[in-house]
Structure 1
Amino acid sequence: MITTPNLFTISSQKQFEKTALKVFRFQYESNLVYREFCDFLKTDAHKVKSLEQIPFLPIQFFKSHKVLSNENPIQETFTSSGTTGITTSKHLVTDLSLYEESYRKGFSQFYGNIEDYVVLALLPSYLEREGSSLIYMVEDLIQMTNNPESGFYLHNHEELIQKLIKLDNAGQNVILIGVTYALLDIIEVRKFQLKNTIVMETGGMKGKRKEMIREELHEQLCQGFGVTDIHSEYGMTELLSQAYSLGNGVFECPSWMQILIRDTEDALTYVDTGKTGGINVIDLANINSCSFIATQDLGKKNPNTTFEVLGRFDNSDIRGCNLMVI
């Protein structure tokens, strides 16, 4: 069995591949759902020698099955948002410390020390339901800032506007993280010229507004907040790690997470760099569920291992992590 610290100290592609193959063998042996899926594909686990040979579990399995790689007690069940009548995904987490270590180290890798920031969270649709992994993460990051100015906002927009202006004018580094439609609501009330604030959108209109292509959305947000770039977070209920974009919709993974782009016509083959296909995610922090997930998102990989999210498969159901449809 692989030890947890090894997951977060990966420093090379060779080390990532070696660790991922160890995790694959472990999950094939200990995860009944994943093993049955691999066997259905007639995968000989002993012959899997590369990332491309690893079967990726369709993300829909988190709606219909208990995806677990151990028999430890469930510490938390994260659920996806969904409209009434739609079955939601359930990620059964047996070790919350893994999730905490993943998002804390992931944030640090891209943004540095959390104590350098005030975190303002505008996540109404997530706050208004139970089981959001995003709320769990942001609540912890807010506490880790050790700053009384950090906090959540629901519908008290005027209070948030005044806080944002005051902090930014004072030279305080701020991260405003918000669901897309709520950020648009704010700039309809007030236009800003922020100099010390990172605006980060988490994607999704939640049925509140019509979907927009990313370029149009980010242009509106840049103009409204007076910033040059809009940051983005790419995560989902079924993952314990997040990729971040520091602008232009170009995402980068932490060192224990990678993506592959599969052919939309043949899920078992992969397309070349720069070509559009389905996003497969390797999240090694998912050691206790499944680290190899075929998402319903469309994207493309760039030559420098960054990637872009271009929308979703047409036949995908609408759910909480829905990104801007192109």
Structure 2
Amino acid sequence: MIDPKQIFNIKTEAGFNTMALQVFKFQFENNPVYRSFCDLLYKNPSDIKTVEAIPFLPIQFFKSHHILSSKNNIAKTFASSGTTGSVTSKHYITDVSIYEDSFNYGFNAFYGDIKDYVVLALLPSYLEREGSSLIYMVDSLIKDSNHPESGFYLDNLSALSETLKRLDSEGKKVLLIGVSFALLDLVETYAFNLNNTIIMETGGMKGRRKELVREELHSILKSGFGVNAIHSEYGMTELLSQGYSKGNGVFNYPNWMRIITRDTEDALTIQNSGKTGGINVIDLANINSCSFIATQDLGRVNNDGSFEVIGRFDTSDIRGCNLMVL
């Protein structure tokens, strides 16, 4: 059994590669769904010598199978958003403390101590449903900030506007994290000129508005809040780690996470940096589910290891990976 604490102590590329191969072997032996997928590809740990050669499980499997590498009881189930009647992804968590360690260490690595911030959350579409991993994370950050004015806002934009302006003018460090459509609602109703506030969007119009390209969205938000950059969070139900962007849509990730891209026509071919392709995520915090996931996002990995999200696949199928009936 791999000690999760080892995952969060990774310091070097060599250390990451060694741990990733160990996690692959562990999940091959303990995750029946992932084992079946690897068997269909004729991939065995004895044949895998590099991280790039590890098979990446299509993310749709989280909609149709129990993806577990642990026999422990399920402590928490995170579920994706979806339209009425649609099949949602479910991430079964046997050890919630691993998720908590991941987002706490990750946030601290990029932004410092959460106690330095007042955390304001504008996430109505997530609050209105059960099982959001984002709400779980932000609720924990709000509590850990230990500031009496940290909290969630649903429809009370007027109160949020007043609080945000006052805290910023008092020189408090503020983190406003919100879903895109709600942040747009806020700046269309109220004007801001903020100097001490980080605006972090979590993406998505959730069917409430027309989708905008990132450049247009960030331009509107920068103007509306009076800030120089819009930060972003890259996360999903199927992951226990997040990437963060401090502007221009360029993301970085913590030491236990990696992004690589695959050819859009051949899902088993890994691309070099600089080419747009399907985003594959290695999230070693997913030790008890699956750490190697082929997402439906399109993106590009830069030469320095940072990455950008370009868009989504047009169809729900990830081409080249449909080897098992979903």
Q: Same fold (TM over 0.5)?
A: yes
Aligned to 1:14: 14
For the pair 1:143 / 2:128, whether they are aligned, the reply is: no
Whole-angstrom CA distance in 2 between matches of 1:313 and 1:169: 43
Q: Kindly state the Cα deviation for residue 44 of structure 1 after the two structures are TM-superposed.
A: 2.5
Q: Kindly state the Cα deviation for residue 316 of structure 1 after the two structures are TM-superposed.
A: 2.9
Whole-angstrom CA distance in 1 between matches of 2:53 and 2:203: 31
Aligned to 1:280: 280
Aligned to 1:48: 48
For structure 2, the 5+ residue unaligned runs are 318-326
Letter in 2 for 1:146: N
Whole-angstrom CA distance in 1 between matches of 2:142 and 2:44: 45
Whole-angstrom CA distance in 1 between matches of 2:282 and 2:138: 23
Offset from partner CA, 1:165-202 (integer Å, 9 cap, x none): 00000000000000000000000001110000000000
Q: Kindly state the Cα deviation for residue 85 of structure 1 after the two structures are TM-superposed.
A: 1.8
Offset from partner CA, 1:12-52 (integer Å, 9 cap, x none): 10000000000000000000000000001111221101011
Aligned to 2:320: none
Whole-angstrom CA distance in 2 between matches of 1:29 and 1:16: 20
Q: Kindly state the Cα deviation for residue 272 of structure 1 after the two structures are TM-superposed.
A: 1.9
Identity %: 65
For the pair 1:220 / 2:220, whether they are aligned, the reply is: yes
What are the within-5 Å matches in structure 2 for residues 286-297 of structure 1?
A: 286-297=286-297
What are the within-5 Å matches in structure 2 for residues 186-225 of structure 1?
A: 186-225=186-225
Whole-angstrom CA distance in 2 between matches of 1:271 and 1:218: 29
TM score, norm. by length of structure 2: 0.96
Aligned to 1:161: 161
The DSSP-based 3-state class of the residue aligned with 1:68 is coil
Aligned to 1:258: 258
Q: For this pair of structures, how many residues does the alignment match? A: 317
Whole-angstrom CA distance in 2 between matches of 1:316 and 1:187: 33
Where in structure 1 do 4 or more consecutive aligned residues deviate above 2 Å? none
Whole-angstrom CA distance in 2 between matches of 1:41 and 1:163: 55
Aligned to 1:324: none
Offset from partner CA, 1:225-244 (integer Å, 9 cap, x none): 00000000000000000000
Q: Kindly state the Cα deviation for residue 86 of structure 1 after the two structures are TM-superposed.
A: 1.1
The DSSP-based 3-state class of the residue aligned with 1:46 is coil
Whole-angstrom CA distance in 1 between matches of 2:41 and 2:76: 31
Q: Kindly state the Cα deviation for residue 5 of structure 1 after the two structures are TM-superposed.
A: 1.1
For the pair 1:60 / 2:60, whether they are aligned, the reply is: yes
Whole-angstrom CA distance in 1 between matches of 2:316 and 2:210: 17
Aligned to 1:298: 298
Whole-angstrom CA distance in 1 between matches of 2:173 and 2:273: 36
For structure 1, the 5+ residue unaligned runs are 318-326
Q: Kindly state the Cα deviation for residue 297 of structure 1 after the two structures are TM-superposed.
A: 0.2
Q: Kindly state the Cα deviation for residue 203 of structure 1 after the two structures are TM-superposed.
A: 0.3
